[in-house]
Amino acid sequence: MERLEDIKEYWTMRAEGYSDSILDELRTDRHRRWLDLINRHIDGRALKVLDIGTGPGFFPILLGKEGHDVTAVDYTEAMLDKARSNCQEFGVPARLMRMDAQSLDLPDDAFDLILSRNLIWDLERPRQAYREWLRVLRPGGTMIVFDGNYYLHLYDEQFTRVERDKNDGHRFIKGVDVNIMKDIAKGLPLSRERRPQWDVNTLIELGASSIELSMDGDRVEYRSDEGETISLPFDFTLFVRK
């Protein structure tokens, strides 16, 4: 837990720029990709949704406009402030609470759908987080996790970081020194793991009934010390059933 406050401080600095980033998605057609993907994995009825690590409120706005009942949590107050403001701007009701994703103060089997975007890599206790998320998901419910191998290059010298699209969220960085996050990431457990293999194995051990993977984004291919070609996704999506 010693890094939790450092992580919160970094995302406090990033709150304004991250908010601009998600507003850019919501005001253009870019948000359709997320909505279409989610809709392919739910049955069309209004759901009780939990967004974990909501940041500036992207999923509460996206799914609130579709009529879902959204609860959203984040540990960083500055992010929740932005989420409240953004939800108000879009006229979307949302239940926003400050909470540690690794220890949820929520009842068992409470949600039909759980969402998390670019969070699990950023946690000190990711296995504990997955255990908690499955706990609050109802039997038969769906969990969708968007994440990636963002800092594997710190520990795997052969894993070369893919050059990202110049129009991604980092154009909203607002002068924040990203080396702060790099230094924090050196001490986070998932920076050392090849994923999504780690996630799949962990979720199976924790009792998930089915897991589907999507790896449509950039991939990194390199040769292992044994001469084998290794192919890993930079980004991936997990669709998990309890």
Residue 29: exposure state from Cβ atoms within 10 A (0-12, 13-18, ≥19): exposed
Q: If pLDDT is split at 50, 70 and 90, which confidence band does 161 have?
A: low
Query: H or E segment at 72?
Result: strand 69-74
pLDDT band per the 50, 70, 90 thresholds, residue 167: very low
- For the chain, the average pLDDT equals 92
Q: What is the pLDDT of residue 159?
A: 78
Secondary structure (3-state) at 36 = helix
Q: What is the pLDDT of residue 1?
A: 53
Length of the chain: 242
Residue with tokens 């192919």: 231
pLDDT of residue 156: 85
Cα-Cα-Cα-Cα dihedral of 82, 86, 92, 98, to 10°?
Answer: -10
Backbone angles phi and psi of 216, in degrees to 5: -85, -10
> Which token pair is 115?
């969402």
Does residue 86 come out as left (phi exceeding 0), alpha (psi in the -120 to 50 range) or beta? alpha
